[in-house]
């Protein structure tokens, strides 16, 4: 209880940092990190096929969802038109890259929330010593690297998901099947874009945090002769 009271006693809300690049970019990182993991989490898609029968075409739907363990849910592929079917599975497990991407997005969101509280409520404590800006710089650079790795990995994983769920490829398993509608993946494409936008934001923000550290030395103004003084030898 005493710790909470001490923390609240040192809290002083100041929205001024939001007008500076350091705070403004952090808000953008907070927003774009939400967009990154929200566009992929909870996604569900459907691949459509049709089976040609004398009395009409029979639709076949293969469902898949995040985290893209495609073999988790079977779909029914009719070998004939007499009503019987065979359970078939989509092939591929792309959960590692998808979950890594979401994990980076969630932790980036939490870190942005924590640092915004520090920027706006404990600015004096943040700048009191060089430790705060240095730690902030190191963690921001680490997140920039994680965004690069996770976005690249998920971009490759999304390409593999598109290939594994392509109805033009799945019809090769059924001679009487025709390719139907391709699954809508606009959200997944957007997640990759948001991932690389986060990379740009976090990498660029390193410069503004670097300026708050003691590593950034402001050059001293050149000394001038006093007015009327004689030049030195």
Instruction: Examine residue 4 and state whether it is found in any structural domain, yes or no.
Output: no
Element (H, E) at 107: helix 95-121
Average pLDDT, the chain: 84
Please list, residue by residue across 46-63, b when 16 or more beta carbons sit within 10 angstroms of its beta carbon and e when fewer do.
Answer: bbbbbbeeeeeebebebb
- In the chain, the percentage of residues whose pLDDT exceeds 70 is 85
| In-domain check, residue 231 | no
Which tens digits make up the pLDDT trace of 104-159? 999 999 999 999 999 888 887 777 878 888 999 999 999 999 999 999 999 999 99
More confident of the two residues 5 and 193: 193
Domain count for the chain: 1
Report yes or no on 168 lying in a domain: yes
Contacting residues for 152 by C-beta, under 8 A, at least 6 apart: none
Residue 60 lies in a domain: yes
Q: What is the CATH number of the domain that holds 100?
A: 1.20.140
In which domain, by residue range, is 140 found? 16-211
Dihedral class, residue 179 (left if φ above 0, else alpha if ψ from -120 to 50, else beta): beta
């Amino acid at each position: 209880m005493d710790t909470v009271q001490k923390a609240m006693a040192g809290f002083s809300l100041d929205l001024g940092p939001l007008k500076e690049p350091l705070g403004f970019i952090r808000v953008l990182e907070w927003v774009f990190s939400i967009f990154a993991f929200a566009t992929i989490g909870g996604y569900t898609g459907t691949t459509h096929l049709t089976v040609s029968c004398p009395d009409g075409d029979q639709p076949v739907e293969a469902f898949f969802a995040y985290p893209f363990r495609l073999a988790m849910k079977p779909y029914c592929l009719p070998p004939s038109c007499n009503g019987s079917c065979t359970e078939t599975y989509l092939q591929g497990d792309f959960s590692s890259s998808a979950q890594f991407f979401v994990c980076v997005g969630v932790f980036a969101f939490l870190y942005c929330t924590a640092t915004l509280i520090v920027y706006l409520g404990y600015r004096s404590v943040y700048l009191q010593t060089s430790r705060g800006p240095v730690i902030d710089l190191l963690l921001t650079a680490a997140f920039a690297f994680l965004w690069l790795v996770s976005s690249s990995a998920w971009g490759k994983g999304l390409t593999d998901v598109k290939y594994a769920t392509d109805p033009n490829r799945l019809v090769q398993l059924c001679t009487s099947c025709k390719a139907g509608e391709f699954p809508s993946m606009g959200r997944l494409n957007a997640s990759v874009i948001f991932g690389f936008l986060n990379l740009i934001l976090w990498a660029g923000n390193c410069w503004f945090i670097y300026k708050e550290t003691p590593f950034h030395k402001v050059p001293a103004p050149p000394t001038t002769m006093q007015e009327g003084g004689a030049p030195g030898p």
